[in-house]
Amino acid sequence: ESKVEQPALANASRSPDVRTTIDLESDESPSPKAATLRYSPSTPAESAPGSVAQKKEPQDIYTDVGIFGDFPDTGDEIPEYGNTHAPKFEKHEHHLSENAIRCRARRIFTPRVDGSKKVSETVFKEWHSKGQPRKNLEQIFKQCGYDPDTFVAEVEILRSEMQSTEFEIEAEFLTHDEMESRGMTPSRIEAIKKHCVTNPKKLMRRDLYEKTMRYYCEISVKTKSKKASRLEINKRAKFEESGVSNMNMDLHDGGNDDDDSDIGVDEEHVEEEVEKEKQVTNRKSLGIPELDPDALPSSHVQKYLTALAKRLTKVQQLLQKFEDKELSDIQTKLKETIVNSINALEKDHRDLSELYSQGVVSGYTKKPFIPKKAPAEKTEKPGGLRVKSKAAKAKAKGAAKAKAASKGGAPAMPATGKRPHK
């Protein structure tokens, strides 16, 4: 192998102190493939005439510190893909302010307008308990990247899997006669019927062959606590690094968590549930939109205006049915009621549109909006006395009495309770 020293080719012009050494095999012409360029910085003494360039080993520029990160200077090449022992970058925390995290949590644990919740009742109570259960939920929320949808899905999947594994419910849809034949007491049969009425879509079925109604009845409930404990430990393995433990996931005796399992409920509870279901149904039938409690009031206005316009159109169509017909007394009263409803809806639509156009509801304030009262009209009385309010009237009356008393004798006390000035 012969070594030929030549001036640096293209790179020599960059620095006068750099020489290029080209290694060529004997009896072969230099080619781009066979040549190996090596850059060796030299000192001024080495660049003097007659000096010999020092040969240095090539340096792998890809393993230098500071190019792709703080890799250890071990002399090895870049680690292969899939090497578990390779140095890793540190994971950065989520850059969210406390206020932003608090707002995201409030969206999860604030009930909707109709009273329903985004999470189960057990998780809702644990969050508002402000103890160790809430700290556990906060850690899970952090592990989910403070994403509300991911957090709700993670917690609810955990609870639903625990329930389906822990409880094995045997239930049937039975008629009234079948419940009596099973030996159920009349009070229990009545309680089952009242409970099923609260959610007829899920708890009641029409018989396929006869005109009878079938009611959801839980015959037996079996528990498997050991298997549920193992599932709980396996499911929470990814949260152990954050110290999440002893999360309270206690379940009530029997059934699922959709309020469809407690058969022996009292009458007051049943009446409350029925009334609540009626209110939700009425709101939906009237076209009242569901609103986010955390949204600005300005975002609610357009939804309510649309709902009012739709309702007004339906009522006006109903009024047209009474036109050009001879009406009875009851129909006449009904028509008057419809007309009054139309006037009320038009007034509400007009007032809400005016408020929105003025920009009164475009912002958010904790204080309710109270319109200002119109100022009292000024009245003119004999003698050129202008009275603006009751206080001014009383003051003027007292002044008149004091003036009359001063003419007749000793000065009298005015209505204000203070002695008059001399």
Burial class (CB in 10 A: 0-12, 13-18, 19+), 123: buried
pLDDT score for 129: 80
The highest-confidence range among 33-37, 170-174, 277-281, by mean pLDDT, is 170-174
- pLDDT score of 252: 39
* Predicted pLDDT at 386: 52
State the average pLDDT over residues 395-412.
69
- Identify which of 31, 38, 45, 29 has the alpha carbon closest to the alpha carbon of residue 5: 38
Average pLDDT of span 2-8: 46
Whole-number pLDDT of residue 297: 66
Q: What is the pLDDT of residues 53-63, one digit of tens each?
A: 555 555 444 44
Return the higher-pLDDT residue of 345 and 371: 345
Which sign does the torsion angle of CA 281, 283, 288, 292 carry? negative
- Assess contact for 159 and 120: CB atoms under 8 A: yes
| Each residue's pLDDT tens digit, 212-228 | 899 999 888 776 654 44
CA 351 to chain centre: 31
Q: For the beta carbon of residue 159, count every other beta carbon within 10 angstroms.
A: 20
Other residues' Cβ atoms within 10 Å of the Cβ of residue 341: 16
Indicate whether this model's pTM tops 0.75: no
Please give the residue that has the higher pLDDT: either 183 or 26: 183
Q: What is the pLDDT of residues 279-307, one digit of tens each?
A: 666 666 666 766 666 666 667 777 788 88
pLDDT of residue 403: 76
Please state the domain extents for the chain: 1-86, 98-285, 297-358
- The model's confidence at residue 211, banded by pLDDT at 50, 70 and 90, is confident
d(CA 259, CA 413): 74
Cβ(198)–Cβ(277) below 8 Å:
yes
* pLDDT at 173 (0 to 100): 92
Which tops the pLDDT comparison, 321 or 265? 321
Average pLDDT, the chain: 67
